[in-house]
A = this chain, B = another copy of it.
Amino acid sequence: MSFKNMTIDELIGLRDELWAKYEQKKSLNLDLSMARGKPETAQLDLSTPMLDKVRESTHFICEDGMDVRNYGVLSGITEARRFFANILDVGMDNIVIYGTASLTLMYDTVARAYIKGILGSKPWCKLDKVKFLCPVPGYDRHFTICEFFGIEMINIPMDENGPDMDMVERLVSEDESIKGIWCVPKYSNPSGIVYSDEVVRRFARLRPAAKDFRIYWDNAYFIHHLYRDNQPEILNIVTECEKAGNPDMVYEFCSTSKITFPGSGVSALAASKANIDETIKFMGAQTISHDKVNQLRHVMFLQNKEQLKEHMMKHADIMRPKFEKVLDMLEAELGDADIATWTKPLGGYFISFDAMDGCAKKIVEMCSDAGIILTDAGATYPYGNDPRDSNIRIAPSFPPLEELITACEVFIICVKIVSIDKILESKKKGYIKTNGTYYR
């Protein structure tokens, strides 16, 4: 039954019941987290055999003829470049291998634009104003990078097909100070949205005012499906940009962070040869070579796209029950309450939950008071400012199933209590809430 159709007395009665349950949960001194998109231990175990690779003298000489244990091969060993070229479906010349995580690669890519400029354009540090478009809700660490560099962020609404492309096209064509847009095109963080072919094509055909405008295409979940039989694919942005006569307009990022070990993986940049060559040139001031032992270890373990797909299905088998459990609980408890909506992703690491306007912060706070840690409300928006205060990112991956159920129960109780308060507030002013109880 829709909460909004309940009488004040019914709402208050329900709230009293919920509050009792909340107090009971609180008394358990829980310490659970649905905050970050971290794999659980069983997922890490899937890749532990990788650590047995590259240990014997016959393994150390890579195709380039170098001992992977020594200095050299700035752009990454050929084996690793071939692997990423294969899985991202681009040429070997379109790939450079980076360090252990794509976040660092993204930060450094922005940093180089800031310090040196892009393909001859003025360095951003010499400009009065640099702006980025940020489809929302989005990934908090993208926004942190912008804040670090003093880049102004502009929110772009998203629907189930991706960002509002009318708005993107208009803004980038009008404003030369707009230098980039952050995209998580597949299983978007946090909404799980998969960009439609039309959206990808419109991206590729952008006509930005700024020559050094780039699409920062964070393809973090390119192969992170939850299901064997329902695996949406997106168009290849590097190829589409090339076809549209905009070969240099995109940097595509990916890594093995959620394939093998987060923070101890291998990352890669895919882009036009001109972008790659400039990246390698600038990278040469920062490093002699990235960790080639780790590169070779990864390639020997993951092998190729087919093996990788199999490996990812093992992740899916661990993740799927958790996603389905959370979605089932939300549906059962909130399905007809008319106080929230949420996404039902086919991959990635998150469920995006939208509470009633003005409720997200309070829900997260109540959860936290009961020992359930969620991503900060607002974190999915630039400057931590969700204008509607409604979005909450749920990360079901890390806790074991039993803990996840407990965390989700608390979450649902909090959603209901905060929503009732909101409804009561709007239905009738003058109710005084003290210590969880309403007095008339």
Q: Which residues of A contact B (CB under 8 A)?
A: 36, 38-39, 41, 44-45, 47-48, 51-52, 54-55, 57, 60, 67-72, 99-101, 103-104, 107-108, 111, 114-116, 123, 125-126, 141, 144-145, 147-149, 261-264, 282, 284-294
Contacts and interface: CB of A to CB of B under 8 A. Distances in A.
A282 to B, nearest CB: 7
A282 B107 CA distance: 11
Given A263-B290, A287-B104, A69 B55 contact: no
B262 A71 contact: yes
**Copies held by the complex:** 2
Contacts of A261: 69-70, 293
A71 B141 CA distance: 14
Most buried by B among A51, A71, A103, A263: A263
Contacts of A101: 287-288
A30 B361 CA distance: 70
Given A149-B115, A262-B288, A288-B101, A48 B38 contact: no
A38 B68 CA distance: 12
A148 B114 CA distance: 12
A263 B292 contact: yes
Contacts of A41: 67
A36 B288 CA distance: 11
A70 B288 contact: no
A120 to B, nearest CB: 16
A55 B57 contact: no
Contacts of A293: 51, 261, 264
Contact of A70 (B52, B262, B291): B262
Given A52-B55, A263-B290, A294-B264, A285 B107 contact: yes
Contacts of A67: 41, 44
Contacts of A144: 284-285
Contacts of A116: 148
A179 to B, nearest CB: 16
A413 to B, nearest CB: 28
6 contacts: A39-B70, A69-B261, A103-B287, A107-B286, A144-B285, A264-B291
Nearest to A289: B263
